[in-house]
Chains A and B, each alone.
Chain A
């Protein structure tokens, strides 16, 4: 197996692999992500309406209260093991909503609990959430400073 022959074999092998691999039916995954993600947001909208019409919240308090409820649901369902099952079906539909953020906090924390409550549980909570908070805070300070400087001159 030298020269052209090896190349051929390589190509044939790759073709074989891609023909045998379960074709993750792309359109199907998009549809799953769409309806599950949409449904989670619809649930969020229901929570929002309850806070608006029953509790009379608005503005930042409304946004904050809604995310607290959604994060509660996300962490609780992760604890029960339900959210990971949803995730297998929905992919991006369960990752991108704020419930997926909660999932990314609880999931590694549960897994590494055996390594202790400080370096295990508490530290691993931020394996995925940490970068989000880091970039979010740096980005927000950047935006704040730009607007502050802009305000000095305009």
Chain B
């Protein structure tokens, strides 16, 4: 039970810290949200390319996988695993790992955009 509570705490702290870094970048550089997302994705991807991000995932669980950098981690990790089985795996492994995220974003995105109307922006 304490393990679970500790897991929640670590996810909260690490996830919160990653978001705070993003907010700091927004405050200092006025980057748009689209660019922030791309930079954080690439940061996760590069860190995992050197085998680093997985330590953060082991430590913080969803605190590291839920931020978009976790998506980059998943892409890199899939490619690294795929590379062990050959050239084909090296090329397809990344998107194969990330397929759940991409597929659900497209399917849910389309369905909900179809159902709901834009709310007036105030």
Contacts and interface: CB of A to CB of B under 8 A. Distances in A.
A104 B46 CA distance: 23
B104 A109 contact: no
Interface size class of A (residues with CB under 8 A): 35 or more
Contacts of A125: 106, 109-110, 113
Chain A facing B: main interface SS: helix
Contacts, number: 295
B37 A41 contact: no
Nearest to B98: A136
A91 B23 contact: yes
A1 interface: no
Interface string A64-84: 111110111001101111001
A95 to B, nearest CB: 5
Contacts of A137: 75, 94-95
Contacts of B78: 60, 140
A126 B23 CA distance: 23
